[in-house]
Chains A and B, each alone.
Chain A
Amino acid sequence: MKKKVLATIVSAAMVATLLAGCSGAAAPAAPAAEAAPAATEEAAPAEEAPAEEAAPAADAAAGDLDFKIVVKSFQSSYWQAAVQGVNQAAEELGVKVECNGPNAESDIADQVNMLTNYINGAPSGIGLAACDQSACLDALQMAKDAGIPVVCFDSGCPDAPEGSVLSTIATDNYGAGATAAENLYAALKDSIASATAPVRIGEVNQESTSESITQRGLGFIDKFSELASADGKKVAVVGNEFYVNGAKDKGDEASADIIIEVAVPAQTTVELCATEASAIMNKSDVLGIFGSNQVAAEGILSANENLNKLGTEAGKDILAAGFDAGTVIKQAIKDGKMFGAVTQSPLAMGKTTVETLYKIANGETVSDIATDGYWYDNSNMDAPDIAPNLYD
């Protein structure tokens, strides 16, 4: 029942924003055709009513502000939560917001295209979660030339032209990856210390192009290496070239006590992540494995269906650390299949993005905002500071 209500809210909110966006110059997203008559009624007050009370006196009329948000995709419920946050803020502030995103996170070109279309429509501001750090650079220059402020969220664009991105709101992904490493290392410390032969830690990343995923992956690798080195163990990183070369110290496989093996599938689908995970988990020296987002973590769980090696008992089972939430991961943590996971706060991130764009429109100076990643496992899933971030 709860799910149903949530779904209705999410979809109604989406349809509302889409309808609102129709009045803008940019092309509406495909699902706009879905618009149910019922949604129209909700949409109207969302646009107008709060506008009068919300807008601070001397500033631009909030009703005239129109922001475009480009997400990485709608593939996972993570993004659904972010969009929910965006819509909450839009309603509170009484601004028009339109969300759009490509079909899959690997559709980099589609996303750039959407972004460019939005820029041509000259909105009041753009919120962007870039699929690829560098593919958006030209578009960002365009936005800068057109005087459209951009706020990056979820993933930053570190090489963006000076002055184009006014604020980056993101989980400290590097830190979040490190959080996973800290927790996993703490659980495995004794097994690593007592190991007589080299041991292996796996890592599955769905791709090696976006900032959020690569930072998480590298954050995990570097932190794990650092902790292990502090205990006098030698660490080597093998597998995908991007991560091997990006690690602070890639080490030497021959003499290492701990091998961190990184795998990246050719496409971002669960079954390909599962193939990669199962190749790693099949090795007998694996102690732990980390999946750096929802898709990768679900891939690990899918691989475990057959291998049945995951658990919570260090030394006996392979300990799996995931990222983000979703029913499959939450269920696995409850069942003791997955050791734990790091969650972000997509809802807050989406909300902050719109609030920041609003501030910019009102002439306020803004700076980067880092949101935290939280570790959760079976013991604290229901804690008040964690539970709201564990979306389905």
Chain B
Amino acid sequence: MGEVILEMKKIDKSFPGVHALNNVDFEVKRGEVHALMGENGAGKSTLMKVLTGIYTKDSGTIIYEGKEVEFHSTREAQDAGIVIVHQELNMVGHLTVAQNIFIGREFKKGIRIDDKKMNEEAKKLFDRLNIDIDPTMTMSDLTVGKQQMCEIAKAISHDAKVIVFDEPSAALTEAEIEDLFKIIRDLREQQMGIVYISHRMDEIKVITDRVTVMRDGCYVGTLITEESTKDDIVNMMVGRVIYEEPKTQSQVAKDAPVVLKVEHLNAGRMVQDISFELHKGEILGFSGLMGAGRTETARAIFGADPKESGEIYVNGQPVTINSPEDAVRAGIGYLSEDRKRFGIVVQKTVAENTTMADLPNYMKGLFIDKKKEREVAKKFVDSLATKTPSVDQMVINLSGGNQQKVVIAKWLCKNCDILIFDEPTRGIDVGAKNEIYKLMNKLASEGKSIIMISSEMTEILRMSDRVVVMCEGRKTGELMIEDTTQEKIMNLATRDIN
């Protein structure tokens, strides 16, 4: 590790009603990977946005390469050598790799854009990073992992001295994460300062040198990674110990009836010959890597995507599901991984979202019975412990965890007995995660049956009574929780790869 390249001192930033950053200190040295951790809403992103000029700080100083600086746009920060690799990929799908890397600062020959030179420069860049990507490929034809590599290449091409990775591994396969780490280590060798934002404890241990933890907009402390344990970090993040052990025993009665049976389901390349059973009161985990076809399977069952073949039985009766409407009628509810797009209407109130799927039961003649609607919403707010000032609150103002609870309330309101949770805790902070887990356990003990799709191994191990593993559109195994280990799942999840 070299000298300090970037230092942020006593950074303060308020938004109307929120004190987002409260006297935060943070520093990065040349040739170090510095993890920035904290629950959602702890202020990590805000801090990085202040750094790169998206937000203006209220007070505090930023010292970069020995000089006090203040950037007013991402462009200025980039020009100075500070770049962010965003969590959401910011690529223009219709353009080529090289065109994306040099967007905003194209090489030109007269008024003509010099694509040839851009391709050559991109190639050089990739060679330097040991990445094997053809710069003339169209971006949307690349896998998510490769796109991420391009994003990194783009960042480096700015002559970067400090690179911020914002949850870079969220969408990557194990192999891709390995490649990513290789690149990060290379960059560290080249004496760059690297900020690594992630929720994944195991990665932090592997790749970082130091960890700075934030909580509720405040700086909590900085640890040397090698000298600290997982629990140390987690304790700093939440201020309490919450790490819980995996489930060791299935909670489902031996004679519990089968409520959902799927046989030989086919729907495109991502869903090939899927069969499984779901018992009453069971939490069935669906594990696998990104792109294993779990969400596609759920969507096919739910009727959101067309099926090619296969039978579905609910409570022993064959059902035809050609649309989500059919699925809901059969008592199946689907909680999408992308709540904002598919789960809730953020500009509507808690009450309106709660009754959305079951509106016909809340009508008084031609009009919606607002009183009854509020009553039932209140009931679910209480029973799910949703934190909201009132049922008339706009959902957009709730935190991720509470939004998720509103979606759950929606399906419970519709009396769905089979619930498909797709990544139920994505984007939800650690404390709220626990609540969602408790709630799922409660629902299961009340006789609801749950399919839980999750990419987090700990979540699968902690919640599932049984685990189905998928890989590249096929079911590769089924494990009782008693026999399940992380290694067994990984083995099944990568079985067909290579």
Is A in direct contact with B (CB under 8 Å) within the complex?
no
Interface residues of A (CB under 8 A from B): none
Interface residues of B (CB under 8 A from A): none
